[in-house]
Amino acid sequence: MMLTVHSVTRQFGGFKAVDGVSLQLAAQEILGIAGTNGAGKSTLFAAIAGQQPADAGEIRFEGQDITHQAPYRRARLGLVRTFQVPREFKTLTVHENLLAAAPNPSGERLLGSFFPTRHVREHEARLAEKADGILDFLNLARVRDVKAGGLSGGQKKLVELGRVLMLDPRCILLDEPFAGVNPVLIEEICDRVRQLNAQGIAFIVIEHHLQALKSLSNRMIVMDRGRILAEGDPHAVLEDPRVQEAYMGGVV
């Protein structure tokens, strides 16, 4: 298993936002996580990615215990995430946003900024070429030099995906990638996720759009009140009476 979450709990005072959750993610799997507001999905993501420390339990990534590692260390291992609300650098261009996410940019060292060596110039050229390749893949080349703050919601979600791709991830946690996105871009995001998955990247996707999540996921988990309510084949999970009751009183 690429990722193993065992009995993870995260609480705020006496409230357990995540209550003893266990899950596993295989390499090249797309796991969907659904649940109503307050079910604990985003808190679980934050615990896995390291933004919120787990109060109990264990998280292992490719066999390594990362339970207490900082987020940047998890990212260096290949475990990265996006956020429900895009966090683009609004005044930077789309291309610059991707470059800002690149690891170990040589030109940011003080000496290299004033006296760039051939090594620094070559490194920056490679990063620029990599960013352009990602923009082509995400169909964002046409807005390469547009300031990111002026993009549509769906384009901002793609920029977030592009920035984590600059880190050469092994596993991507996508937090509500379809929220505020028009249907055409939803299908485009799904298509890019499938292509990346075929190239060897595993995904966990949190989403309220159940039909899109069902078509995208190999397996689905539904959370309720910090716990896993149902797990398995997406079609079977959505037909589970407990899931239907949790969503809109029995209508999914």
> Over the stretch 37-75, which tens digit does the pLDDT of each residue have?
889 999 999 999 999 999 999 999 999 999 999 999 999
Is the pLDDT higher at 107 or at 76?
A: 76
Residue 118: predicted pLDDT: 72
> Which pLDDT does position 231 carry in this prediction?
96
What is the per-residue pLDDT across 114-133, written as a single tens digit (0 to 9) for each?
A: 556 677 778 888 999 999 99
**pTM of the predicted model as reported, rounded to 2 decimal places:** 0.89
Nearest to 66 by CA among 83, 49, 44: 49
Compute the distance between CA of residue 217 and CA of residue 221 in angstroms, rounded to an integer. 10
* pLDDT value, residue 199: 95
Half-sphere exposure for 156 (CA within 13 Å, toward CB): 21
pLDDT at 252: 47
Angle CA 209–32–237, to nearest 5: 85
- Is residue 110 scored above 70 in pLDDT? no
pLDDT in tens, 197-219: 999 999 999 998 888 899 999 99
142 or 123, higher pLDDT: 142
- What is the reported pLDDT for 209? 83
Whether residue 251 has pLDDT greater than 90: no
Whether residue 165 has pLDDT greater than 90: yes
Q: What is the per-residue DSSP string for the chain?
A: --EEEEEEEEEETTEEEEEEEEEEE-TT-EEEEE--TTSSHHHHHHHHHTSS--SEEEEEETTEE-TT--HHHHHHHTEEE--SS----TTSBHHHHHHHTSSS-GGGSHHHHHS--HHHHHHHHHHHHHHHHHHHHTT-GGGTTSBGGGS-HHHHHHHHHHHHHTT--SEEEEESTTTT--HHHHHHHHHHHHHHHHTT-EEEEE-S-HHHHHHH-SEEEEEETTEEEEEE-HHHHHH-HHHHHHTTTT--
Q: Which of 67-76, 102-111, 180-189 has the highest mean pLDDT?
A: 67-76
| Residue carrying the six token digits 């339970």 | 67
User: Which CATH number describes the domain made up of 3-88+152-246?
Assistant: 3.40.50.300
pLDDT, average across residues 27-42: 93
**Least confident residue range of 179-183, 194-198, 245-249:** 245-249
Domain ranges of the chain: 3-88+152-246, 89-150
Q: What is the pLDDT of residue 121?
A: 77
Where does the pLDDT of residue 105 fall: very low under 50, low under 70, confident under 90, or very high at 90 and above?
A: low
